[in-house]
Structure 1
Amino acid sequence: MPPITIYTKSWCPYCQAAKQLLTAKGAAFDEIEISGKEAERAEMVQRAGGRTTVPQIFIGDRHVGGFDDLNALDRRGELDPLLA
């Protein structure tokens, strides 16, 4: 399984949903909580091509996007192959 990184904020319901979906798939992930952490937030924005919302999800070197993007991949049957 490729490494998964998810940038989050503790109060974000979309972050919770993304983590729940990944957990349901049996995927381990590194969570980077960016609330009040400018260096981590700047890293996320740079890696995400300027996107500033959370969550921002990376599977291996691929930027997946946010929860809606992750969920769309799952609905299309494209998430499981990425996680394999």
Structure 2
Amino acid sequence: MPSAPDPQPRVTLIGKPGCHLCDDARAVVAAVTAELGESFVERSVLEEPELMARYAEEIPVTLVDGRQHDFWRVDPDRLRDALSRPPH
């Protein structure tokens, strides 16, 4: 019997290569999601023009369940709290 597909990651990190704030955000997101058994996906504003148009001045941006959660800095406690609630 085939296994169920992996659920969509609840966290999306939007950034770009070479961004030190993005590197900092990635470390926090990776630690918190690993701790809670969640996963995350990264998307680059350089590869997706619609993301560049929307978030260029705010990267890194984190989305939780498809909604903007934070930008520039990721607070681990705030992210942990958001992920402790059921998805919207």
- TM-score calculated relative to the size of structure 1: 0.66
Q: What residue identity is the alignment partner of 2:62? A: I
Determine if the alignment matches structure 1 residue 33 to structure 2 residue 33. Answer: no
Q: What residue identity is the alignment partner of 2:68? A: H
The separation in 2 between residues aligned to 1:16 and 1:58, in whole angstroms, is 16
Paired positions, count: 73
The separation in 2 between residues aligned to 1:3 and 1:29, in whole angstroms, is 6
Structure 1 residue runs of 5 or longer lacking an equivalent are none
Shift, 1:18, TM fit? 0.6
**For the structure 1 residues 28 and 10, does the alpha-carbon distance in structure 2 shift closer, same or farther, using more than 3 Å as the test?**
same
Determine if the alignment matches structure 1 residue 54 to structure 2 residue 65. Answer: no
Q: CA offsets, 1:17-53, max 9 Å, x none? A: 1110011111421101222x3xx1323544x5xx633
The answer on whether the counterparts of 2:11 and 2:63 sit within 8 Å (CA) in structure 1 is yes
Structure with bigger gyration radius: 2
**RMSD between aligned alpha carbons?**
2.4
- Pick one of 35, 39, 43 that aligns with 2:51: 43
The separation in 2 between residues aligned to 1:44 and 1:18, in whole angstroms, is 18
- Structure 1 moving runs of 4+ over 4 Å: none
The percentage of counterpart residues that share the same residue type is 21
Q: What residue identity is the alignment partner of 2:63? A: F
Which residue of the partner structure matches residue 25 of structure 2? 18
Bigger share in helix: 1
